[in-house]
Amino acid sequence: MAASPDLIALAHDERTDLLALLRTLTPEQWQAPTLCAGWTVRDVVAHVISFDGLSPVGLLGTIARGRLSFPRMNDVALHRYAGHQPAQLIDLLARRLTPRGITATFGGAVGLTDALIHHQDIRRPLGLPRDVPAERTVPALDFALTAPTLPSRRHVEDLRLIATDANWAHGSTTAPRIDGPAEALLLAVAGRPAALSDLTGPGVAVLTARRG
């Protein structure tokens, strides 16, 4: 039996790659929109690190002020970094490459999946594609299908997902198929419509309709 991947290490690697990208961005790019509606690159970077620095008491306070709503909790956590400039966020990320706290839960799957999705949230609108290692996308896809903060399970119910660039598939072989790169599949099931154009198969129309 193959050994389970070290998700903490993979999350560290993904954050390291994100950090390298951020160090190349111009001030204009830091203010550019991302695939996260209403969030700039600066906002997304702040979000990636916003839960790492929380103490247990701070986390409970965020949950309470967010009234158990993940979007509101994100807003509460993001607000703490409202005054941070890009250089400050880069410095914080450089010191938080290894997930801790809530992002280290599920063996590090939260940190890996969150960093990978948000890395692409930044890159795609900026026109800066990359090849994401399959060793990262495959466990991220597995986790995304059950992640409590993503709509994945509902969106892909009774669909067959097949990664064309990795050894990964999900769903019944008789279900409507969706084929595409693992990165695009991950973004699509995470609710990013920009990735749908990279997918093919009869299941794409079903997924699009379910997203509303």
Q: CB–CB of 56/133 below 8 Å?
A: no
pLDDT digits 0-9 by tens, 124-156: 999 999 999 999 999 999 999 988 777 777 888
User: CB within 8 A of 45, min separation 6: which ones?
Assistant: 18, 22, 86, 89, 90, 93, 122
pLDDT of residue 187: 95
pLDDT digits 0-9 by tens, 8-64: 999 999 999 999 999 999 999 999 999 999 999 999 999 898 878 665 555 555 555
Q: How many CB atoms lie within 10 A of CB 104?
A: 18
| Answer CATH for 134-211 from 1.20.140, 1.10.3470, 3.30.1050, 1.10.357 | 3.30.1050
pLDDT digits 0-9 by tens, 190-206: 989 999 999 999 999 99
Q: Is the pLDDT of residue 81 over 90?
A: no
Percent of residues, the chain, with pLDDT higher than 70: 87
80, exposed or middle or buried, with CB in 10 Å at 0-12, 13-18, 19+?
middle
In the chain, where the domains are located:
7-126, 134-211
Provide Rg for the chain, Cα atoms.
17
Tell me the average pLDDT of the chain: 89
